[in-house]
Structure 1
């Protein structure tokens, strides 16, 4: 079956329907482009056809380009991947330009046929670039999203979207949609100038056809093809436009810290393209797009944030042969911030929730958290009163464990105390049916030890949410020594229901995410104790693309929690405990009452509204700056390797069983340098040999925590890469 089909009605209007067989949402492929091209040729060559409407056979219009084809473009011309990408992109430009010109005479701009886009729902990426080439864009009044999110996966709109949107809106107005990937619902998209008409869903096709039948030659002439066209807001060489581009360059550098090449390339394509004709601008866009596609950063981001993330969300690591384990009713034990968040996301997904706490007042407060969240959504236009009512109706707040009857999943989210967790486990299992799965939400306590309190350890599993639950996309699922496949499948199916991204790891101290986060935090704190300037530590992390530095991160999660974790870890490890020098700094801060942001005092100083005011001066008074400060790259290597080596060790020890989970989990879990694609992608980017060289230097200077793992050294000697040796997708 074809992706694009054409049918002409008695009114003479051709309807070109995009409907990819077997897919929930349309994505563009080269086969699809060829079919679209043939449909356009038929419209333009058949005198009985008056014009065309391009629409979708699905509820949405399109989700974008099939990013797998970028790899095929790179390989299209042997020995010259740049040529393959450039020529492939220019073919797309040719098809969209054909739509845009629609058979008009080049000089008189007459004789063309109107071609409009009718969007029944979401239109993203090429799904919006195609409509931009049409003469009118109609969108159904739905909750769909319209925009160009390519920048979020290390690309920028390369099928004319960059050039057309800037010429349509002006550089300043187009910036949020190009540089930030902002998307809008249809009504707001119309107000912003992204679409031309918003109509009732049932009238979409009729309104689009009516426009086709009544369009004039003037309606078909794009502004940028008209004589005397001037860019809205001013071109870069004009007095009005120059400040816009200067400001954009500063904004891009401020936000990307120089490590996201797609944003810089996009700005270059816009600036250079504005100096030439529209067709020359498309070539410039294609050249910059080719450069980004071939950049290893782009490839790593696409692989981790699109391909691997999508595979995990679709069940790539789900145990085979286990029937559907979708959750019908979930019990949440503990109505604190974490439990309240779990209850909220579960109810928002349509799951019945029983929220239990020791006191009714606390249980009610947990439910009130959902009410407050929904109220904020309503005030921002992101929720409705009906949605709020339906969500709250699904949550039962109580102290009675008998209410757990009928729950097929229970998630315990009480204090990080093994005794308390054991008590609530036993209470819940008395009520639960024999098939119910019990999950513990913990960030540090070993799952296999907690499972000892369960009468059915095969149905006991760890589900580690990140805080705040409603905002964080990652969920870490931890398989204990006795955890069975059905429990894993239940956890994965539940995470999919609440629309988050799961990774599955085996039980070990700190699991995977915290195992890597803590060394990052500790290395930053350790450097402060050594006399490295705290601001250098923080800025080094920011220049690596981390959302926050290790000191700010410690303030955010709280210093007293760090003290608690340190004491528990030291008690468990005894003489092998490696972080006494870190404790010197953290414990001293705690003794000063500086418990982090929640206390308005930590590594940073805060004003009375909780706003950071810079590094607290008392920190360098207690830990004076060393006379010789390290170079930036030395600090960055310490911060980077502290995390990356733990990821390798987790793989080496079998805690991680899939490097895709290691990369996706790192980016979504703690913001590991998204431009890198994750720790394993970064190691592949620099090469195992280079990584071992860095390790050897760091080990000589700072000790055995930087020793290269045996696996990494073996790979360096063999010249191997992680995504050659371990990628399950490649093996399949």
Structure 2
């Protein structure tokens, strides 16, 4: 058996347990760790009389990384009993550790997430290094799971039901050491490792009879049990808030966490651990956690670890041309990453307004204690607003973020090449083909698309678009920049709309087409929410503005006809045209769209939708509405793969979730097809049903048909 825990016995009777899984960069909660923990606790119990205390620390950069996600990914409903038994084994070992009768201290020298924090909670005292890189938290809910090794039970008993749920469990917060201390999860902060170990020894000496608070006679959960009237009212409000947030979408983990916390707070600790274990096993052996683990952990890791080559000159100075919303935000993230930025607009006043965006973000960060005033000032000092083209001289990279007009963009590229002839040039276009834009560049092999998503400071994805003549070195330098910005890249080949804009357009068009069919707008919005989309489809259209998809449609139609093709109108087109031309409702930025707005805030669906487009069609099955949105994006993604726009399944899944809001419970657009009931053949069969009911756009593409016939999956 591989031993993952080193044992050192000191002359003072202290046992130092060092978590150190051989051959791994991080400690994980797997079968080998479970066996090691049981053997270690067996030995601690056998040698208890000569032991004065125990310190648990790590030999890795992280304290403990949590569960073995690769193993969890392999679980199926057939593994329920095995999974439950392994979970019980770990829970029992941690329980025996905390009832050893000797003080146990967790010396947390790196991030403790998930199972790592659960292990630390099984210790009587927790000391963490004051290192801003360290994260403490339970991210399980973001992967469709809950903390299954006592995390729910112990957090509730230490902090109270409400604080445990809101502060730690339901949203998967990752807190820095000082924040974790303020929120009651750790007990001490140490300046360095030597100080941490000294503090651990001192605490053991001062607390020879340490026990967990909840094991002491008369202990009561802070804030009371769910039968306490005040807490009962709080929980009712919390449950209502959760229902509102989930909007009926199939995310079972938050509901299970709430249930495990509430049910566990009403029984003894051992029964509570059993309840928690049952909910964990149900989630861990279900399909949704598989989808989310694969996409949000493994696929994101794969996308973020692309080859960026060696020997490329680093990007130290960036020019962002266009200080509107997108340009200002791109300037901010580049400056935040340590690069000097020239923010260029037509006038210096326009550039100063763009820099004000960074000022606003950083002032808020200082107010929240996330950033210091010194850090804010240093970032702002790296942004140089200008209206003078000459200030671009010497930049390593120029990112163009001007209006979506090829002629204007070509003019900008010519100006850049005059003053910065050696700069790598990138466009933030969301739809225009990179190969077409490269016609205005003297070195098209050093031109690439960098499609950021709004709001840039929050959205984790960048779509990197390779034109027909973009060379490998340019691609690698672009990927290096994305990595430096701490964002996840997907790489796609050139096409009008690329991948993300092209696919999200099918989603918004489908929602608007439903309106044209007379389906009530409120029903359409509810269907998109229950499918799991973060924003209802008509609300999203208003945010994007109705004029943008119309302009894209007109440009695409013109290009299709110019190339000798035939343009096929969509049922959504007439609705969008009437909204703009007949009613003057172009979306939120224009003060009116599918929704009404008051002082810029959405106040409700426009009542005129019913008179204008009907709203009496109640015959369409509600499940069809949900599946039409999910299916149309998945089918268009297959077409992108078929046409070579997408280079990998990973890019499709990651890009759809992180970039355009495809529901994360699906695992992404192509994983949704994989996991559909009956696999690819089942998806094909239902796509044909939808095609018969709603149009040929749902017909399965040849690639999908061929893969289904061969019994393949998108891998």
TM bracket, shorter-chain basis: over 0.9
Aligned to 1:622: 612
Alpha carbons of structure 1 residues 57 and 627: separation in structure 2 relative to 1, 3 Å: closer
Secondary structure at the residue paired with 1:117? strand
Contact 2:73 2:293 in 1 (8 A): no
Q: Where in structure 2 are the equivalents of 1:375-524 lying within 5 Å?
A: 375-432=363-420, 434=422, 436-524=423-511
By how many angstroms is 1:407 displaced? 2.9
Aligned to 2:326: 338
User: Which moved further from structure 2: 558-567 or 631-640?
Assistant: 558-567
User: Which moved further from structure 2: 116-125 or 291-300?
Assistant: 116-125
Secondary structure at the residue paired with 2:152? helix
User: Which moved further from structure 2: 691-700 or 644-653?
Assistant: 691-700
Q: Say if 2:127 is the partner of 1:138.
A: yes
Q: Say if 2:705 is the partner of 1:713.
A: yes
Q: Where in structure 2 are the equivalents of 1:366-381 lying within 5 Å?
A: 366-381=354-369
Alpha carbons of structure 1 residues 213 and 41: separation in structure 2 relative to 1, 3 Å: farther
Write the distance in 2 (CA, Å) between the matches of 1:2 and 1:362.
Answer: 62
User: Which moved further from structure 2: 383-392 or 558-567?
Assistant: 558-567
Q: Say if 2:541 is the partner of 1:569.
A: no
- 1:88 pairs, out of 86, 92, 99, with 86
Aligned to 2:291: 300
Secondary structure at the residue paired with 1:116? strand
Q: Say if 2:529 is the partner of 1:538.
A: no
Contact 1:52 1:115 in 2 (8 A): yes
Contact 2:597 2:603 in 1 (8 A): yes
Secondary structure at the residue paired with 1:472? coil
Aligned to 2:594: 603
By how many angstroms is 1:57 displaced? 4.1
Write the distance in 2 (CA, Å) between the matches of 1:498 and 1:656.
Answer: 23
By how many angstroms is 1:540 displaced? 0.2
- 2:53 pairs, out of 26, 46, 51, with 51
Secondary structure at the residue paired with 2:450? strand
Write the distance in 2 (CA, Å) between the matches of 1:342 and 1:703.
Answer: 40
Contact 1:70 1:85 in 2 (8 A): no
By how many angstroms is 1:402 displaced? 4.0
Aligned to 1:129: 118
By how many angstroms is 1:343 displaced? 1.1
Aligned to 2:316: 328
Count, aligned residues? 703
By how many angstroms is 1:80 displaced? 4.1
Alpha carbons of structure 1 residues 447 and 82: separation in structure 2 relative to 1, 3 Å: same
Contact 1:530 1:626 in 2 (8 A): no
Write the distance in 1 (CA, Å) between the matches of 2:314 and 2:305.
Answer: 14
Q: Where in structure 2 are the equivalents of 1:566-715 lying within 5 Å?
A: 566-574=553-561, 576-591=566-581, 592-607=583-598, 609-686=599-676, 687-715=679-707
Write the distance in 2 (CA, Å) between the matches of 1:255 and 1:15.
Answer: 45
Secondary structure at the residue paired with 2:16? strand
Aligned to 1:148: 138
Aligned to 2:253: 262
Aligned to 1:174: 164
By how many angstroms is 1:595 displaced? 2.1
Secondary structure at the residue paired with 1:54? strand
Secondary structure at the residue paired with 1:327? coil
Aligned to 1:106: none
Secondary structure at the residue paired with 1:310? helix
Write the distance in 1 (CA, Å) between the matches of 2:386 and 2:39.
Answer: 63
Write the distance in 2 (CA, Å) between the matches of 1:9 and 1:368.
Answer: 58
Q: Say if 2:541 is the partner of 1:554.
A: yes
Q: Where in structure 2 are the equivalents of 1:100-111 lying within 5 Å?
A: 100-102=98-100
Alpha carbons of structure 1 residues 26 and 404: separation in structure 2 relative to 1, 3 Å: farther
By how many angstroms is 1:258 displaced? 4.4
Aligned to 1:68: 70
Secondary structure at the residue paired with 1:55? strand
By how many angstroms is 1:269 displaced? 2.5
Write the distance in 2 (CA, Å) between the matches of 1:692 and 1:155.
Answer: 30
Aligned to 2:18: 17
Secondary structure at the residue paired with 1:576? coil
Alpha carbons of structure 1 residues 425 and 618: separation in structure 2 relative to 1, 3 Å: same
Q: Where in structure 2 are the equivalents of 1:111-122 lying within 5 Å?
A: 112-122=101-111
Contact 2:63 2:109 in 1 (8 A): yes
Secondary structure at the residue paired with 1:583? helix
- Residue deviations 1:644-663 (CA, integer Å, cap 9, x gap): 11111111111111111111
User: Which moved further from structure 2: 387-396 or 437-446?
Assistant: 387-396
Secondary structure at the residue paired with 1:65? coil
Write the distance in 2 (CA, Å) between the matches of 1:714 and 1:157.
Answer: 41
Secondary structure at the residue paired with 1:52? strand
By how many angstroms is 1:484 displaced? 1.0
Structure 1 unmatched ranges of 5 or more: 103-111, 728-732
Contact 2:511 2:538 in 1 (8 A): yes
Contact 1:326 1:497 in 2 (8 A): no
Contact 2:609 2:615 in 1 (8 A): no
Write the distance in 1 (CA, Å) between the matches of 2:615 and 2:491.
Answer: 42
By how many angstroms is 1:194 displaced? 1.6
Structure 2 unmatched ranges of 5 or more: none
Secondary structure at the residue paired with 1:381? coil
Secondary structure at the residue paired with 2:425? strand
- 2:200 pairs, out of 198, 208, 222, with 208
By how many angstroms is 1:58 displaced? 5.3
Secondary structure at the residue paired with 1:64? coil
Say what the alpha-carbon RMSD is for the aligned residues.
2.4
Alpha carbons of structure 1 residues 403 and 65: separation in structure 2 relative to 1, 3 Å: farther
Write the distance in 1 (CA, Å) between the matches of 2:15 and 2:441.
Answer: 65
Contact 1:408 1:433 in 2 (8 A): no
- Residue deviations 1:55-113 (CA, integer Å, cap 9, x gap): 234565333333113246x38xxx942222222222221221122112xxxxxxxxx11
Contact 2:448 2:465 in 1 (8 A): yes
Write the distance in 1 (CA, Å) between the matches of 2:339 and 2:25.
Answer: 23
- Residue deviations 1:451-480 (CA, integer Å, cap 9, x gap): 111111111111100112111111000111
Aligned to 2:95: 97
Q: Say if 2:351 is the partner of 1:359.
A: no
Write the distance in 1 (CA, Å) between the matches of 2:358 and 2:7.
Answer: 48
By how many angstroms is 1:167 displaced? 1.8
- Residue deviations 1:339-388 (CA, integer Å, cap 9, x gap): 11111101111122222223222222222222221111101111111111
By how many angstroms is 1:306 displaced? 0.9
Aligned to 1:109: none
Alpha carbons of structure 1 residues 598 and 302: separation in structure 2 relative to 1, 3 Å: same
Write the distance in 1 (CA, Å) between the matches of 2:569 and 2:275.
Answer: 53
Q: Say if 2:513 is the partner of 1:526.
A: yes
Alpha carbons of structure 1 residues 23 and 457: separation in structure 2 relative to 1, 3 Å: farther
